[in-house]
Amino acid sequence: MASCGFGAFVTALMILVISLAATIVAILTDNWYMVEPEGGAVVSEMEKRENTYSFGFWRRCYDDQPASLSPTGQLDNDGRDYLSRSYIGLSLASAAAQLATIITLLCGAWPGDCKRMRKVSLYACALGVLVFAILTSIASGVCFIAARDVETDDLHLYRGLDTEYGWSFMLHWIGAGLTVVDGFLLMGMMRYTHEDVGVLQRDYYNM
């Protein structure tokens, strides 16, 4: 098993599984961005309830059910809408690519015969899919930040409010970071893995 690079293979696979889990949890949870009234600001109970919430890709979650939604929450903006569609689509594409990378590694390694497994070709194929996952994950996070900048600077939605990125946002970037780490690991596995002569079906001669 040592000559097969079993330990590195399992490590790469586990990192991918953890990264995919982090990405999925981030997509499904609603703590990407947190909003609340500024500390020390004097606001009514109704304003506090309307302006204390968090949101993610799909929902806006309030600590207490407000009597009515703030009108500023219904503003439309082409730039923000485009960015919103972008970061949702890119994040879903990243999760799909990570899943595809896992399936590629598992199918390529089946049935676990080290002598017949074309390791370099397998790692190269998996790395190609993983690079797409890395790029889409990073782009998704950047688009989310850009959308919040549009809301802050152009629409002024958060005037008089404190805002911060939540744990779902951080989890997304943890997943993105793990995919980068896994990419470097796959490159290292390609660099230090040698194909079996019988697998390549080539003739070698001593010089």
**Is this model's pTM higher than 0.75 or not?**
yes
Across 1-10, 119-128, 130-139, 184-193, least confident range: 1-10
Decide: 41 and 25 in contact? Cβ < 8 Å. no
- Is 129 inside a domain boundary? yes
Please spell the DSSP secondary structure of 45-73, one letter per residue. Answer: HHHHHHT-EEE-SS-EEESS--SS--GGG
> Which residue has 């606001």 as its token pair?
43
Say how far apart CA 121 and CA 95 lie, in whole Å.
23
Decide: 54 and 31 in contact? Cβ < 8 Å. yes
Closest residue by Cα to residue 141 from 113, 101, 169, 104: 169
Segments forming the whole domain that contains residue 91:
6-27+75-159+169-197
Span 70-101, pLDDT tens digits: 544 444 445 556 677 899 999 999 999 999 99
Span 87-141, pLDDT tens digits: 999 999 999 999 999 999 998 878 666 666 678 888 899 999 999 999 999 999 9
Closest residue by Cα to residue 189 from 25, 37, 5: 5
- Is 203 inside a domain boundary? no
Instruction: Output phi, psi for 3, to 5 deg.
Output: -70, -20
- Is 150 inside a domain boundary? yes
- Is 58 inside a domain boundary? no
Structural domain total, the chain: 1
- Is 205 inside a domain boundary? no
- Is 33 inside a domain boundary? no
- Is 132 inside a domain boundary? yes
- Is 113 inside a domain boundary? yes
| C-alpha dihedral (101, 106, 112, 115), degrees to nearest 10 | -30
